[in-house]
Structure 1
């Protein structure tokens, strides 16, 4: 897998499977819970700079994403990844100014971010949900993809979607259901051969 890099180069990200971007409430306790459950990155929503700075101080090597509110203050406080799916053209411009990553709503927006000099290794292409999602994932793109899994009615269907999408190369999954999503992504990576299985229950000879 091509390494992803958001913000500072010293952030910790595994490279043998797809990543879990945990959606958390703007609260330090929620942050710690998500990390204990296995989150790779954190989506702090529209958190203000005070919370962002506190989480950054606690976890200096953790990738932090945010929905832009006061973008400049958020970036100054330590955000690594801005959610640009709302289509505001000021978001990629701010991402370029601060050297942070961007979640782009379309491939055209991702391409334009390169003209603005947003770091290429930190651009993710958002893939909206829909009945044709897996078909769309089979279409080639130059950009690593992100999928947001549903909050309501999360169950086996969403986990199956995550596993199939990871098999098709989706790099980041945004969800509140961290443990189950991570387990599905680890399973998909083990079947694909990019990481060893968590446990070998039966060996084939």
Structure 2
């Protein structure tokens, strides 16, 4: 084990799939919400959500991340409503795509429990351990857990003039603390993931610095997940609306992958899959799919 408690070989175990240190996984975003910042409810209906999963899997998604509550401000969604939005879709995806890793984006242990009972493999706790019981659910069901840096702000809270002496040091410290808490309650160390959480409790300058110095988080030894897809830091950097942020997203994705991020949570599965495959080939971690130029 590393000093942080991570497996020395970098092994990540998702369901029964062993993910190596050089692998790069695509996590497709599927929102069962009527008000998400990018898709604006396009996958709110159950049949549309299933269509989105079908498209994502065909485009190369390794993981499907199902969420029932918008990350930012919006109408309240209680636990019962979140369960009703998320659990039926988890159950259907598990039945129809047995090889796909099913993730649930929630900060509530009650939702996590019901999702695991329906077949979820991964709990994406995007609000940094707000409910400490969620890690216990991950341990009980032997599923993977994402430990996320949010500086202790409440769920669905946007940052306001937040300051750090060193944002990356804070990310490393908080992710280490959450990973240790997960270990302490019995989560398999091969199932712990950390996320620096671009935009969450961060200004654009903070998110850019986290991206630039991502290697410091990777050095802990835990697999790193990044969620940069079409986010505000991309939009503000380029002064572009959400529907024009794909090129900036791909640039941030490639930098993060090159620095060691292993899971990429995205809206645009096919484009990101190609960008990651190209990055792996340049790094020498995967061969070209075709290699005949100059050889015949």
**TM value normalised by structure 2:** 0.63
Most deviating of 83-92 and 168-177: 83-92
**Which ranges of structure 2 fall in alignment gaps of 5 or more residues?**
1-8, 33-48, 69-84, 149-174, 199-206, 231-241
Does residue 137 of structure 1 match 2:214?
Answer: yes
Q: Within 2, Cα distance between the matches of 1:37 and 1:73?
A: 28
After TM superposition, the structure 1 = structure 2 runs for residues 104-115 of structure 1, keeping only pairs within 5 Å, are 104-105=147-148, 106-115=175-184
Q: Deviations over 1:43-72 (max 9, x none)?
A: 011343222111111111211000235221
- Is 1:89 aligned with 2:119? no
RMSD over equivalenced CA pairs, Å: 2.1
For these two proteins, the number of residue pairs brought into alignment is: 202
Written as runs of structure 1 = structure 2, the 5 A alignment for 1:118-197 is: 118-129=187-198, 130-139=207-216, 140-151=219-230, 152=242, 153-197=244-288
Deviations along 1:150-181, whole A, 9 cap, x unmatched?
A: 33242222212211211111110001111111
Cα drift, residue 2 of structure 1: 3.5
Give the TM-score of the pair, scaled to structure 1: 0.89
Residue 136 of structure 1: CA displacement? 2.7
User: Greater Rg, structure 1 or structure 2?
Assistant: 2
Is the 8 Å Cα contact of residues 49 and 74 (structure 1) preserved in structure 2?
yes
Name the residue aligned to 2:60: 38
Kindly indicate whether residue 10 of structure 2 is the aligned counterpart of residue 2 of structure 1: yes
Aligned counterparts of 1:132 and 1:78: Cα–Cα separation in 2: 37
Cα separation, 2, equivalents of 1:104 and 1:201:
43
